[in-house]
Amino acid sequence: MEFKQSLLEDLEMNCRLCNTELEHLVVDLGITPLSNAFIEESSLDKKEPFYPLRVYVCHECFLVQLDGNIQTPKNIFSKYLYFSSFSKIWLDHTKELACEIIEKFECGQNTSVIEIASNDGYLLKHFKEKNIPLLGIEPASNIAEIAEKHGIKTINKFFGLETANELKESGYNADILLAINVLPHVPDLHNFLKGIKMILKKDGVLILQFSTYMIPFLQTTEFDSIYHEHFSYFSLLSIEKILSTFDLEIFDVKELSIHGGSLRLYVKNANNSNYMIQQSVNELRKKENNCGLSVISEYTKFSKRVDDIKLKICDFFFSAKRDGKKVVCYGAPAKGNTMLNFCGIDKDLIEYVVDISPHKQGLYLPGTHIQIKHPDIIRKTKPDYVVILAWNFKEEIMEKMDYIHEWNGKFVVMHPKVEIQK
């Protein structure tokens, strides 16, 4: 496994929010490839960069974070293989979100809606249907192109202060500013929040949502959602500190089960008196306190649990191999690559992976070099075990792949524990 010594010097050992020296390790997942760096067949014999993957918690602001920016967003997101529109559960969830926003904030043809990291237009399309003025900001050129084809006005740029300035100069600002599953991907939170402050109208509402929310993240030991494009892992405790630095205030919160446990925040300018602070905010503060989120040991004992889970994952795959069982995986999510690479599970133990995304089929997983195929092959090869790597969509996947039971095939998940499904 190869990484340049210089990269280690790039590692920050200071908190990306408050600059406090990082002293408390949450978990060290070794050195791994970028989790979305899928490989073309022609590149399988080329050098493949591996990087340290370590998470720390700051003892001042309790932000859980990678110890540095191994990769720049430009390297990760300029051409990206994650398209949001490949999961019904996710599409249903975000349709409900759009409908709630339109109703709750009385969006109409005078409402300006801007979404940061708008992907393929999966969310903004619901505003378009209501003729609500919108703008998507999407850094991945291949994905922005698809959104534009769907008639979603999209600018292909990274969001930050510079882009916000350009938007402001072009007369754009937001009554509703959406940032769904983007904040964990932002290495420079200060620059990002300055940009948000720049384009959010005085009476505007920012709706932030992110997976890897700290309560379920710790309670279910969600280590596979740690990868180089997830620079930060938030709690209400840590995110309130970030937002207050920019006179932004949370007036409502919602805990969500999607993606293994997410948090949605409704945020306003502190001097905007149009929205009362809801009881939900204080209730979540109390819940986080009861879960020990302001106690460092709550974070540092994560690592031991990860080691225990790793043993159970390895046990499953090695026992199946020993018993001559045919094992394949369903879904080629980024999280699956963290799990496989950290546990050392590769193509000796897994015959192939399937994924419905045509953008991933034919490629190979980073690090393990397991090929990604179309799900139809499962009916042909009749595997004994189908390990669902995209466990956050387990129900949807098991429903559509129910036919594996015709040959007594079994589904298996590795999260929140190794479990062979009935």
Which residues sit at the interface with ligand DWN, rule CB under 6 A?
Answer: 82, 86-87, 181, 211, 229, 259, 331-335, 355-357, 360, 390, 392-393, 396-397, 400
Comparing C-alpha atoms, which of 32, 29, 48 is closest to residue 40? 48
Within its chain, how far is the Cα of 326 from the centroid? 30
What is d(CA 331, CA 335) in angstroms, rounded to the nearest whole number?
10
* Choice between 310 and 373, CB closer to ligand DWN: 373
Shortest Cβ distance from residue 81 to ligand DWN (Å)? 8
* Choice between 170 and 421, CB closer to ligand DWN: 421
* Choice between 83 and 175, CB closer to ligand DWN: 83
Shortest Cβ distance from residue 225 to ligand DWN (Å)? 7
Which tokens in the block code for residue 180? 């769904």
Contact 281, 251 (CB under 8 A): yes
Shortest Cβ distance from residue 259 to ligand DWN (Å)? 5
Shortest Cβ distance from residue 173 to ligand DWN (Å)? 27
* Choice between 124 and 334, CB closer to ligand DWN: 334
Shortest Cβ distance from residue 244 to ligand DWN (Å)? 25
What is d(CA 322, CA 201) in angstroms, rounded to the nearest whole number?
61
* Choice between 269 and 338, CB closer to ligand DWN: 338
Shortest Cβ distance from residue 138 to ligand DWN (Å)? 13
Shortest Cβ distance from residue 396 to ligand DWN (Å)? 5
Shortest Cβ distance from residue 171 to ligand DWN (Å)? 31
Q: Alpha carbon of 149 to those of 106, 125, 126, 154, 365: distances in Å?
A: 28, 12, 15, 10, 29
* Choice between 250 and 332, CB closer to ligand DWN: 332
* Choice between 222 and 252, CB closer to ligand DWN: 222
Residue with CB nearest ligand DWN?
333
* Choice between 226 and 253, CB closer to ligand DWN: 226
* Choice between 94 and 112, CB closer to ligand DWN: 94
Shortest Cβ distance from residue 98 to ligand DWN (Å)? 17
Shortest Cβ distance from residue 354 to ligand DWN (Å)? 7
Shortest Cβ distance from residue 114 to ligand DWN (Å)? 20
* Choice between 98 and 117, CB closer to ligand DWN: 117
* Choice between 160 and 366, CB closer to ligand DWN: 366
Which tokens in the block code for residue 181? 């599953």
**SS3 per-residue string spanning the chain:** CECCHHHHHHCCCECCCCCCECCEEEEEEEEECCCCCCECHHHCCCCCECEEEEEEECCCCCCEEECCCCCCHHHHHCCCCCCHHHCHHHHHHHHHHHHHHHHHCCCCCCCCEEEECCCCCCCHHHHHCCCCCEEEECCCHHHHHHHHHCCCCEECCCCCHHHHHHHHHCCCCEEEEEEECCHHHCCCHHHHHHHHHHHEEEEEEEEEEECCCHHHHHHCCCHHHCCCCCCEECCHHHHHHHHHCCCEEEEEEEEECHHHCEEEEEEEECCCCCCCCCHHHHHHHHHHHHCCCCCHHHHHCHHHHHHHHHHHHHHHHHHHHHCCCCEEEECCCHHHHHHHHHHCCCCCCCCCEECCCCCCCCCECCCCCCEEECCCHHHHHCCCEEEECCHHHHHHHHHHCHHHHHHCCEEEECCCCCEECC
